[in-house]
Amino acid sequence: MLIAPKKHITEPDKHGFQVRIVRKGKEHSRYFSHSSWGNKAKSLAAAQSWRDQQLALLGTRIKSQVGLGALTNNKSTGVRGITKTITLDKRRNKSYLVYQVHWKQNGVVKNKKFQVGAVDKVTADQEIHAFRTAVHFRKAYEMCVLDDLDFDSQWYQNWKESRLYDTPIEVKSDRDSLTDAA
């Protein structure tokens, strides 16, 4: 898990770093003095290490939504490059279940979102369909990379209407396109 170098870490004075994590209304904090750790770089390294240990112990933040109960924001799906999140649309005051695929194209990190629907109305079939489509998307990308072909995320534009994962992925090297096997 990658964490921003100073996320949850502040330098309240010139003498040390403060780590502060709040979970369920309870603060978990510790101060790392530069003099106690030898120098500024060592105290920052110690603060980052302690923060990472605490985040592993405390887990992810639980967000509460009106009428939906407690929602976890655990992004792990067990598939590389695919996360599952719950996003809040503040304008509509609704939460949506989203599967998101991450990949690199020409050195630029990109992502494709497969929004399943409102959390309180999503069916198991809709969620499985979105997850399987996201997995298919990621595998198609990986196959294009292996065969040194261009990957076009537009192939999945109408993903809700079709079940692309029902047929195996076939990459044609004589033309730069991805097709589903017949």
pLDDT score recorded for residue 31: 93
Average pLDDT over residues 75-96: 83
- Judge whether residue 177 has pLDDT over 60: no
Cα distance between residue 131 and residue 139, in whole Å: 12
H or E stretch at 103: strand 94-105
Under the phi-then-psi rule, with left for phi > 0, alpha for psi from -120 to 50, and beta for the rest, what region is 134?
Answer: alpha
Chain centroid offset of residue 99 CA:
9
pLDDT score recorded for residue 32: 92
Nearest one of 63, 62, 120 to 92, comparing CA atoms: 120
Cα distance between residue 92 and residue 79, in whole Å: 31
Structural domain total, the chain: 2
pLDDT tens digits along 2-33: 455 678 899 989 999 999 988 777 888 999 99
Among 59, 79, 96, give the residue marking a domain's end.
59
| Average pLDDT of the chain, as a whole number | 76
pTM for the whole structure = 0.50
Whether 174 and 131 share a structural domain = yes
Tell me if 3 is assigned to some domain. no
Whether 86 and 114 share a structural domain = yes
Tell me if 86 is assigned to some domain. yes
Whether 93 and 172 share a structural domain = yes
Whether 20 and 70 share a structural domain = no
Average pLDDT over residues 103-126: 83
Residue ranges making up the domain that contains 176: 63-180
pLDDT score recorded for residue 161: 77
